[in-house]
Structure 1
Amino acid sequence: MQVIKYPERKDWQTLLQRPYADNTAVLQSVQGILAEVKEGGDPAVRQLTEKFTGVSPDHFAVSEDEINAAASRLSEDLKAAIGQAMQNIESFHQQQAGGISVSETMPGIACWRKSVGIEKVGLYIPGGTAPLFSTVLMLAIPAKLAGCREVVLCSPCDKEGNLHPAILYAAQVTGITKVFKIGGAQAIAAMAFGTETVPAVYKIFGPGNQYVTAAKQLVQMQGIAIDMPAGPSEVCVMADQTACAAFVAADLLSQAEHGVDSQVLLVTTDETVIEAVQKELAKQLAMLSRKDMAEKALANSKAIVVKSKAEAIAMVNEYAAEHLIISCADADEIAEEITNAGSVFIGNYSPESVGDYASGTNHTLPTNGFARAYSGVSVDSFVKKITYQKLSAKGLQNIASTVIHMAEAEGLDAHANAVKVRLAPPTPKEGEAGAQRPA
């Protein structure tokens, strides 16, 4: 890690900037892929899959037999772990489903808002160097709680044309039946536009590499909603002299092993913390199966010493990390001062990996500084909120002059007239003695 000591505030923005990657070529390539799939459907998806992976599965749709067989290929311990994680995630997300509250803004005027599940959603689950079956739980559970009617899952297959059994098992226990062996930008295109096999959806969720991310951004410009902008995964650890160096190093490495472009940041007020953490990093790194990947990520990461706790808090807020771990004596108090973070882990015994898998919170979070304005995935991500209003005749009379004055001031006479015509008694039809005004 690069060590920076006591930087000036004016240098923070440059210091905390994520590495810039020119993805012009990626965007151009992905634009071509989207166009091919939109025009060519399944044959285009098959051709692109074979071109990029060398694999051409006999069929994209995963059969019910394949899904059922997946359970037998997993250990009972793993299935129990998935079950526990599922229970915790469902318990946490269930609390996010609020009821309907009607507000009477004036006598006779009732207003309320109702959450309605997005009818068709697509989930992208990476399946390359790390098959993220945990992401199936993180996305499928809130989708189910939100009431989404159709959930489509796409994930890249292996060289034999199969999906990882844990991905299929997670899909099964969360109730997903439409699973497809498609990965990369072509999977995003298939879910965005629909093919002969893959249904089109209204919103796409899930992490992925730079091609998947570019595809999500581009289909958003064509009217398909996405969960959030995404980039390389990242963690920031704020530590003081009470932090355990072994814990901090483990947390940094758990993020660094995601990929060579993962972001790792350590912020501390004590220089000795960095020295101790550096020693632990070297010791633990040697034992990792993904050592080379983590090592490259650490080479581009930083450890920063600042002058005070206030500066440390200001710095982590400016960074706006996807994951923020607070390993400090007064971690609870510091957490209350955090305004920009995707998910916060408080104290020495709250590793980021717990949130990644099973504590209950969602691990699909904003990266690349987007935590300044975006939230992580929740039940809210899978619903749209429709507002309603119902006025009685008396309610309309109570608000009529307000609406008429405002509409006329904006020069929108038809808006004003839509109220006026309801205030005047209706004209009796021929042969009728008159008409009663509504009560």
Structure 2
Amino acid sequence: MTDLPSLRQERRLITSIPGPRSLELMARKREAVADAVANTWPVFAARAGGGIIEDVDGNHLIDLGSGLGVTVVGNAAQAVVQRLTAQASRFTHTAFSVTPYEGYVKVAEALAELTPGDHAKKSVLFNSGAEAVENAVKIARVHTGRRAVVVFDHAYHGRTNLTMALTAKTMPFKQGFGPFAPEIYRVPVAYPYRWPTGPDNCAREAAEQAIDQITKQVGADNVAAIVIEPLLGEGGFIEPAAGFLPTIRQFAADNGIVFVADEIQSGFCRTGQWFACEDEGIVPDLIVTAKGIAGGLPLAAVTGRAEIMDSVHAGGLGGTYGGNPVACAAALGAIATMKELDLTAKARKIETVLKSRLALLAEKFDIIGDIRGRGAMIAIELVRDRTTKEPNPEATAAVARACHQAGVLVLTTGTYSNVIRFLPPLVIGEDLVREGLDVLENSFAQAV
């Protein structure tokens, strides 16, 4: 179940980056596509597989971004392609709410098996992570009869009106798009690197502050849901300090609050476990998944306790395209690939390669303030000074740009735009990861 064996797994530059064909297509893009749709890299893809993207100019580029964390099983994984092709030849759409089909049921059964907890579970399928988060909130509100939703500093949950309200960062996600949905309350998250009194106090103090704010400013009995990423994504790959998540989860349980784990970016083997919340034994009431679930096709899910999921009236959840049969077939192929190739173990190996080399880079370049993350979801935070920890977005952009020009795709992120994140496909060869890190080191030397 490997991807595109004909696509050589090596970096190869035959033009400048971007090349002439990509530049031509970018000119057409500027004429036809809204300027608000920005591009990290002005390079047009022709093929992709394993850890390589081949652009329209024939360059082979190392992919350390996975299409924003989506291609966990790589691009064009054989099991994904085979199953979606077979399904597309039978039918591409009926609307599950009109004429159901087995693929939707099989995906729901797989999610019940894979997600944490041995309780009875049910799922509903959607198209995007934001859509799934929004529906998780709807489910929690109906189940509890409450309206308030608690989210955290540095959170990212999507671009719909409600999920923009849940998201912490203004630019580029929220600027100018308000007013936003009401009854959203934000509390501190345990961010060890930037906690004022240091990492040792972070979990306890952050949990105390969060619970105090909820209790005093909202009222626990008014809260329908607490929504959190077990490993924060767009906020900068923040790992909440150990103990923080269990404390918040227990507070939710003690107060009848639905605990929602947003595993859109961290799920499906990405962090070295099937789901990041397993790291501290968290069993959420609802878990939201997307990105890696379907090998690149649009699919998302809310999976949760059967009694919570069934609290919504018939017809209250769904949508025309949610759980599209072709996307469901792709998901079943992706999950089969994850199991066959033991991609949780592969993610842990990638973590070892990344963290060991990044630690050496941190000794050499003192603008690297922090290294964090788990599995194949690793980040470095860049600062002007390690004492003040002042964010350094300019250096972050310069390093990323130098990597891109050398044929390695890296992504930047973080509330302060000063984090470089590494999200390679889990099927990438370790030799490509190491070569990508060589390029990163040279990029630091050029940019700093």
TM-score, normalisation: structure 1: 0.28
**Larger-gyration structure (1/2):** 1
Report the structure, 1 or 2, having the larger helix content. 1
